[in-house]
């Protein structure tokens, strides 16, 4: 199960809308070994596309360094689907680099955003529950 602080949820969804008409992307960080995202790093979509995303390598490096400086680690990646459901595409699955990461998709297809999270291991997609937690309870 992935836990997000309410602030992180709002930042993720806001970044998804801010990226329109392209897909938006970013990285999630939390305590090492934790499934709770306490920091969201908005990143530039280097692909500049409404159909695919590539986390800008410089943004990824900055996020890694900042997280490490806070005693955190990157625990997942977020991207938006501008016109499709919040389910990993074949491209998303092929690009899933780290089996321990949470792969979060925000669909903007409907009137309200839909945020879902998955684990992707060896091409196998497993949806996981997402819960919102209070920032003080998150650590």
User: What is the arithmetic mean of pLDDT over 70-75?
Assistant: 97
pLDDT band per the 50, 70, 90 thresholds, residue 138: low
52-71: pLDDT as tens digits: 999 999 999 999 999 999 99
pLDDT score of 98 more than 60: yes
Query: What is the value of pTM for the model shown?
Result: 0.93
121-133: pLDDT as tens digits: 999 999 999 999 9
In whole angstroms, give the CA distance from residue 77 to residue 94: 14
Burial class (CB in 10 A: 0-12, 13-18, 19+), 66: middle
- CATH code for the domain of 121: 3.40.140.10
Q: Work out whether the CA dihedral 74, 68, 138, 17 comes out positive or negative.
A: negative
pLDDT score of 10 more than 90: yes
Return the pLDDT at 134: 85
pLDDT score of 137 more than 70: no
Q: Concatenated DSSP letters for 82-93?
A: SSS-SS--HHHH
In whole angstroms, give the CA distance from residue 31 to residue 120: 21
Domain housing 20:
2-138
Return the pLDDT at 135: 72
- State how many domains the chain has: 1
29-49: pLDDT as tens digits: 999 999 999 999 999 999 999
Q: If you average pLDDT over every residue of the chain, what do you get?
A: 94
Return the pLDDT at 97: 80
């Amino acid at each position: 199960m992935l836990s997000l602080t309410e602030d992180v949820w709002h930042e993720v969804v806001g970044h998804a809308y801010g990226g329109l008409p392209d897909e938006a992307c970013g990285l999630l960080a939390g305590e090492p070994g934790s499934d709770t995202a306490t920091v969201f790093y908005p990143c530039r979509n280097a692909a500049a596309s409404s159909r695919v995303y590539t986390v800008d390598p410089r943004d990824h490096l900055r996020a890694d360094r900042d997280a490490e400086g806070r005693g955190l680690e990157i625990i997942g990646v977020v991207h938006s689907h501008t016109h499709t459901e919040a389910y990993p595409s074949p491209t998303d699955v092929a690009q899933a680099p780290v089996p321990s990461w949470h792969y979060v998709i925000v669909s903007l297809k409907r009137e309200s955003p839909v945020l879902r999270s998955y684990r992707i291991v060896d091409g196998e997609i497993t949806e996981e529950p997402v819960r919102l937690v209070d920032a003080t309870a998150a650590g």
